[in-house]
Amino acid sequence: MKKYLLLSIVFSLFLCGCTQKQSESNESSGMESIPITDFETYNGRFSEFAEAVEMIPLEFTDESILGEIKKVVLSEDFIFVMERFNSAGIYTFDRSGKFLYRIGSRGQGPEECADVDDFSINEKDRLIYIFDGVRKKVFVFSFDNEFIKTIPMDYSATNMEYQDGLFYLYREDARYGVPLYSLVIKDINGDLVEKYYPMSDLPKSHDCVFCKRENDILFAQDMNDSVFVLSGEKLSPVYYIDYKDRSMAPEDRMDIKHDVRRSIDVLLEKRTIAGIQGVFEIHDKVFIKSINVIVPVLSIYDKVKKEVKTYQYWNDDFLFIGSGHPIGQYKDYLLLLRDVDLIQGSLDHFDDRIKEGALTTEKADKLRKMIEEKLPNIDTDECNPVLFMVKVKE
């Protein structure tokens, strides 16, 4: 009970605004505040934090026509992809992007999922875990697409992650789940290990952020500016993302969560920032995805220099292909996706980059040839999004 009380007190402090008192409480709780104040620098370069970029087209076949992608996870040999809507399984590609097979399928059979809500992998044992929120089970398959078993969870999560024999299940609203807590940790048999945050009765679900690292997991709740670390069954605060005068007021956050006002209306009216869309940590840098009013931005915090830079757009000065913000992380790589029509748009502007002096004619010719070889159907509709692996400098 003392642990739950302490976490509740710390958690409430995170929501109370950017006051001096809060800063002091963050320091005493062991959190590091990351101040984000500069929203005017909208263009950055990959070379500022990266040393190389690898382009991997995801093969387009009759069995691998991808819609909007929700999640990408890499292992040493495979690329696993989950669609955001109507996911019928986990699309599996080799590391060159060649489609292999789809793991899992939707249906009512004993080896079929009624729904695919999330997935995670166990690279050591070469297993993939697919969470079915309707059946409240984890379906276990091998990397080679062999069905192994199901694990009953008795919890209808919206987000799930696995690490070292533990499943981390998250659902913010209180409609389903045993126990009725937002963050529930269960073991490999589905037995309860730990629980955090008694669920409040909200009208709709709100997601969370899980970012699996080598030995722990970064965790952040929707509409919150705090980042925790999950290590085994222990939940500990690690970062407070301090948006200063751009931080959303607690009452506005609650209005959005309880569906009193639409989030877009609050954001446009107050022009503030609420919530972490993604957080990744590689070497001495923390990458934080946020929404500046309605526009995604990426802040990079240098833990050694204690410097923060925030960008809306990135200039890829390796391949000169404009790219979005990270969707995932694998070791010291950030994972990004780009649609082929936007890649074609970048190619169309190569001549402008040459005139600006940012790109030589010789390099432009080499890049065009490389892209044409990797994307022979770039001018057709028969292309999936392209995966980019951005290697972060040490």
**C-alpha count within 13 angstroms, C-beta hemisphere, residue 22:** 19
Query: By C-alpha distance, which of 176, 163, 102, 161 is closest to 131?
Result: 161
**Gyration radius of the chain over CA positions:** 22
Query: Is pLDDT of 11 > 80?
Result: no
Q: Is the pTM of this model over 0.85?
A: yes
User: How far apart are the C-alpha atoms of 56 and 126, rounded to whole Å?
Assistant: 22
The string of pLDDT tens digits covering residues 28-75 is 467 999 998 776 666 788 999 999 999 999 999 999 999 999 999 999
Query: Is pLDDT of 10 > 50?
Result: no
Q: Which domains does the chain have, with CATH numbers?
A: 34-392 (2.120.10.30)
Quick one: average pLDDT of 268-291? 91
Query: By C-alpha distance, which of 114, 112, 127, 115 is closest to 73?
Result: 127
Q: How many CB atoms lie within 10 A of CB 2?
A: 6
Q: How many CB atoms lie within 10 A of CB 388?
A: 25
**What is the layout of strands, in order, in the sheet containing 50-57?**
50-57, 386-392, 333-338, 328-330
**Mean pLDDT lowest for which of 115-119, 203-207, 359-363?**
203-207
Give the residue, 88 or 254, on which the prediction is more confident. Answer: 254
Which two tokens mark 183?
């963050």
Give 183's pLDDT tier (boundaries 50, 70, 90).
very high
User: How far apart are the C-alpha atoms of 164 and 211, rounded to whole Å?
Assistant: 14
Decide the pairing of beta strands 181-187 and 90-94.
Answer: unpaired
**Vertex 219: Cα angle to 217 and 220 (nearest 5):** 165
Q: Check: CB of residue 376 under 8 Å from CB of residue 60.
A: no
pLDDT at 95: 97
Q: Check: CB of residue 319 under 8 Å from CB of residue 332.
A: no
For residue 12, which amino acid is it?
A: S
* Mean model confidence pLDDT for the chain: 88
The C-alpha torsion from 276 through 262 and 9 to 306, rounded to 10°, is 30
